[in-house]
Structure 1
Amino acid sequence: GLGPEECMAVNPRLVYGRMTGWGQSGPLAPRAGHDTNYAAVSGALWGCSPADARPVSPFAVLGDIGGGAMYLMTGLLSGIVQARATGRGTVVDAAIVDGSAHMLNLMLSARQSGLVADVRGQSIHDSAPFYDTYVCADGHYVTVGAIEPQFYTLLLQVLGLAEDPDFTGSQWDKAAWPVRRARLAALFLAQPRAHWQALLEPTDACFGVVLSPVEAAQHPHMRARDVYSERQGVLQAAPAPRFDGAAYEPGEACAPGAHTQSVMEGLGQSGARAVWRQR
């Protein structure tokens, strides 16, 4: 009795959000699933690894958060704008497969220009030596993303490769990419991560160290922006985006459902706790 038809009959301005994995229609709509399944079927999981490795679900939960929660939020906010303007609400069908597929549109547009191939290991994101992840002498990783020519030129200059015969040809000569990647891999492997961080991070060479969330919380940039905080032993990231440049400071960690009763009482539903427990 809590579906959109019943609720919107009481309040036609209601914006009713439905986030599911497979959506409200289609042959898989009644089936169970999880983030990795939705990302896989949507096409989003296909490129999430080197070509010679199995695709692995991104740690950031690409489907549930990216293709699901973010699109649900966008739909709800859009519906609220519509309801305020027209007095008419809407039902938001936020399917994780829809959102995960929609996030591929940038790569699909690059497919038209040849930057993305239909075979793994032959696209800019998984084969270009200037857009890749490299292991360092201490087993840690760094990333380079010098796509634009000015950044690529700077990267070669800082690494001492500007006059190297293996790098003097066109940046986009795919035939030269395997040799260049091997050269860069050997170079980064010769020094620990901190060395490359000190050398490249202060430049515009499009460089970034690969950090765990715990390490990221201690990075000078993340600390300066107060991105992470720890309360009661719980590490958490600050809400995003920011409004008027101000960071929102998270409150104390709490157990799931700790505020349900106070929220329901604020809505005039003082008896909600017993009903919630029964359901």
Structure 2
Amino acid sequence: METPTFSHSDCQKIVSKKLNDDFVIVEVRNSTFDHKNGYLGDHSLLTVTIKRNQCNESHNFFVKTLPTVPSQRQFLLEINGFFKEHRFFTRYLNLLEKHSIKVLEGAIPRCFLVNDETFVFDDLVSKGYKTLPSRVSLDLESVKAALTTFAKLHASCIILEEKKQFWLVDEFEDEVAETFYSDKESVKKAYASSKHGLRALVDLTHTQTMTIPKSMFMEKILDGLDQQKLFAQPSTKFRNTICHGDPWTKNLMFKFDDRDVKCVMVDFQSYRYCPPGQDVMAFLHLTTDKKLRDDHLD
């Protein structure tokens, strides 16, 4: 991966947006992480050292760029992921700000710069946030914190629609259009891989003690996968709102202290316009085990 470069002007804009104060840039460093942080993006850490009030201080920023791996880059572009995230942090958030809707404060990372291939965000790790292991069920307090954060996202759109007296899908048609399920070549390959993996999982996990025959189990699983295309569309029955669309553990960052748990959602490459129950139920089934759901779902 190539580390993105930032001009003095870029860094001036980034720090100015964060501090809204006078300062002088002393040093700029941009370093790659020694591990992969995500699939659909390359990531690095931008550190800007400034002098303010006669003292030096360093500020860290999380940098996200288009993937350099060709297959990942093609997939992201074909699902319109970069465009969606770009418009979320520019057009959608600007509209919320214009109408004094502040419900998302603290629920998403602050974005200080967006250009053709790069986002610069506040570095949540330096603020005590972390991503939890994706193969371990979230505990109840983390689930509550995440649901609170999802609720803020869903509420932001409903409040905006009520204030503007419009439906988001009418003015943001390109942004909220469903592109994850499409006829693009890389999308079809990913979908075929999902079906192949599910067949393998059924082969590995189905036993003779199960009451449902293996063939019927396989049919229901694959039919459920196909139904995602339907449920990703706006409902004609229930209230729709902006939904994250990819609500699993790696797209959430948590901060734990003695009093409570805080949660910030990241990665807005798959958001869509649909009932909020889609985010809620997908989140619960992707991040918790059956016992927690049995004990606390109601």
Structure with greater Cα Rg: 1
Greater fraction strand: 2
Q: Would you say same fold, with TM above 0.5?
A: no
Bin the TM-score by the shorter chain. Answer: under 0.3
Q: TM-score normalized by structure 2?
A: 0.24
